[in-house]
Amino acid sequence: MHIYAEPFIHTTGGEVIHAAIIGASGYSGAELLRLLAQRTDVSVDVITAGASAGKSVDEVYPAFSGTIDLRFTSLDYASLEGMDIVFVALPSGEAMSVVPQLMGKVGRIIDLGGDFRLSSTSLYSRYYGRAHTAPELLGTAVYGLPEIFKEQIAAAAFVANPGCYPTSAILPLYPLLKSGCVSPAGIVINSVSGVSGAGRSSSVEMSFAEVNENVRAYKVGRHQHIPEMEMVLSKGAGAEVTLSFVPHLVPITRGIYSTIHATLAKSCDAAALSEVYRNAYADASFVRIRESIPQIKDVVNSNFCDIGFTVDQRTGQVIITSTIDNLVKGAAGQAIQNMNIMFALPEGLGLGTRKEEAYV
């Protein structure tokens, strides 16, 4: 069951969407603020933070000086009542205590964390290492991957924004699984991420001395995004998908790069794969199928997902590479893309291709 909203008609007569960001001082929340502040049809009325409550935005992010005149506040549910949309940009484990307090009091909710992506309490507790305190809401959020679930998103009142790693893996794999061009078994995904994916909280392992000139894998075989990827890809395949996923941390600030190995069906070749991708993403504003091998620098500060592939005749596999900016298509940009769909606006509004100076 999903929670759906009454249709919102966004007129051309100057109607403004009133928005709030809970957790606006983190990297994803600040990226949301940066992108939304450029729009005249959206008014960001409330931004909340924990330790930064009471500070102005430019005290925390000097890059916003002279452009955003807002102050972080503590979370006060009364100040959020009647908002057209609330973005929840909190660390995993925190949204499940917040979202129930918003239900029925605000127009729409987009959660950028992982608390409501899964429908199983057992899977959640297994991979996130904690009990879910709002199990009645599991399975009620629409999974917010616009290129696949646009119709459901358009009618939704509650959207769970996909994880950054899953976005980079699901978009290249879903059409191939749905078409039967690759096997649902034995998929291997190796991904690398910039350090901003870990959030803004400081830790020794994320310090410059630990990250610089270093590459390391982490959470091998137990990353919390594994069940999310398998759940969505299984829908596309119409069969259970099992995969091996290994994430790595690399010394860059932004970006995710995924290399995917999948067994190719005998009836499919490179031409067939190209046709599948063209058909699947013909109307997708932010998916680019590349003839050359994608690279992170071409998507940084953008909402694009670039995908390339090579058929390895020797092994009978297709090797897919995909890349996104983890803070834009992997978080804030995708959330805004979902908001645009929910409010019947052009999908790419406020998410142009122009690269702009970011705060991180």
Give the domains, in start order, of the chain with CATH numbers: 17-162+329-342 (3.40.50.720), 165-326 (3.30.360.10)
pLDDT at 59 over 50: yes
Give the pLDDT band of residue 134 (cuts 50, 70, 90).
very high
Give the separation between CA 140 and CA 116, rounded to whole angstroms: 8
Beta strands in the chain (DSSP E): 17-22, 42-48, 85-88, 108-111, 142-143, 158-160, 187-193, 216-217, 243-249, 256-263, 287-289, 305-312, 317-324
Which residue, 250, 266, 264, is CA-closest to 217? 250
Over residues 330-353, the pLDDT tens digits come to 999 999 999 999 999 999 999 985
Mean pLDDT of all residues in 199-215: 80
Active-site option among 164, 181, 268, 305: 164
* Mean pLDDT, all residues of the chain: 93
3-state helix, strand, coil in the chain (%, to 5): 30, 20, 45
Give the separation between CA 360 and CA 358, rounded to whole angstroms: 6
In terms of DSSP H, where are the helices of 216-326? 226-237, 270-280
Helix (H, G, I), strand (E, B) or coil at 97: helix
Instruction: Work out the widest C-alpha separation in the chain, in whole angstroms.
Output: 62
- Angle, CA of 344, 345 and 349, to the nearest 5°: 155
Q: What is the dihedral of CA 357, 159, 132, 121, to 10 degrees?
A: -120
Over residues 265-323, the pLDDT tens digits come to 988 999 999 999 999 999 999 999 999 999 999 999 999 999 999 999 999 999 999 99
The model's pTM is 0.94
Does the active-site annotation cover 164?
yes
Q: What percent of the chain has pLDDT over 90?
A: 85
